[in-house]
């Protein structure tokens, strides 16, 4: 729906240069407002992942070395249980990006079908 998205001032500022920038939020299949230039979509995801690993490394360094800090990124439930049992924070990474599964939309047409999504 055109006009939606106005309640996200930080996203609007980063992506459109203004805290008040209503845009189409309907998503698939049009994906009209999802562009590679949007800082809050896929381009920033790579930076965020790099930063979260840097944070873990910093916390570890303050605690004496790799794996010693309270903040530990985990990738499966077994790692999570081990970290939690050690009294540390198990961090599960989650990402939302603009081109899930390599699908993109241009001119109101998606490169993927609903079944693929």
The one-character DSSP state at 71 is E
Q: So what's the pLDDT on residue 25?
A: 74
**pLDDT over 70 at 100, yes or no:** no
Give residue-wise pLDDT tens across range 1-27. Answer: 445 677 778 777 777 788 887 777 776
The residue among 94 and 54 whose pLDDT is bigger is 54
Q: Is the pTM of this model over 0.85?
A: no
Give residue-wise pLDDT tens across range 70-90. Answer: 999 999 999 999 999 999 999
Q: Are 73 and 53 in contact (CB under 8 A)?
A: yes
What's the burial of 13, exposed, middle or buried (CB within 10 Å: 0-12/13-18/19+)?
middle
For tokens 């009294």, name the residue: 87
- The domain limits of the chain are 1-40, 48-97
């Amino acid at each position: 729906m055109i006009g939606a998205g106005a309640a996200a001032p930080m996203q609007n500022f980063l992506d459109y240069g203004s805290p008040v920038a209503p845009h189409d939020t309907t998503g698939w299949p049009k994906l009209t407002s999802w562009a590679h230039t949007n800082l809050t979509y896929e381009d920033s995801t790579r930076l965020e992942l790099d930063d979260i690993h840097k944070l873990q490394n910093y916390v570890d360094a303050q605690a004496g070395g790799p794996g010693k800090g309270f903040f530990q990124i985990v990738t499966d439930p077994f790692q999570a249980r081990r970290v939690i049992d050690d009294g540390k924070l198990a961090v599960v990474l989650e990402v939302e990006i603009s081109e899930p599964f390599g699908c993109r939309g241009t001119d109101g047409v998606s490169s993927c079908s609903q079944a693929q999504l």
